[in-house]
Structure 1
Amino acid sequence: MTCSEFLALLDDMLDDAIRPELRQELQQHLESCDHCEVTLNTTRKTIQIYRSQQIYEMPAGLRERLHAAIMARCKKGC
């Protein structure tokens, strides 16, 4: 399994809408891929925060970098 294949199946994995055999492949990929493990954990945490309606204050530096990145992307033509 590649990272691209993992990411394409991430939504289904989080929704528990995936065959057990495929889930096992995803788990095996996670055991050897720190990047995808971080992506999965970050996505889960984001969903948790959103569902709990907690307000999360980003540090000013992070907020500014995120805003600058979004604006730069939009100027290129989202």
Structure 2
Amino acid sequence: MTCTEFIAQLDDLLEERVSKTLRVDLEEHLRTCEHCVITMNTTRKTIEIYRSHELYELPNELRDRLQKAILAKCKKC
């Protein structure tokens, strides 16, 4: 398995939606590829942090200013 193939399956691996056979292949790749171990751990941690935070409601004035700034930037492209 290549790193590209591993990354393509990473979401399903983290969500435990891979077959047993594919899981064995993915775990075998992890035993020999420190880059993919770091990528997997970083992705897992990012998801955990994202899921643990509550949504923050922006004040209306700030939301309007932010939206206008984004739209202005998009029009320039």
Identify the TM-score tier after normalising by the shorter chain: 0.5 to 0.7
Q: Which runs of 5 or more residues in structure 2 are unaligned?
A: 55-76
Q: Which runs of 5 or more residues in structure 1 are unaligned?
A: 55-76
Query: Please, what is the CA RMSD of the aligned residues?
Result: 1.5
TM-score normalised over the length of structure 1 = 0.67
Q: Partners in 1 of 2:12 and 2:49 — Cα distance?
A: 19
Q: Per-residue deviation at 1:8?
A: 0.4
Aligned amino acid, residue 42 of structure 2: T
* Bigger RCO (CA 8 Å, 6+ sep): 2
Name the % identity: 55
Number of corresponding residues: 55
Structure exhibiting the larger radius of gyration computed from Cα positions? 2
Report runs of 4+ in structure 1 exceeding 4 Å deviation: none
TM-score normalised over the length of structure 2 = 0.68
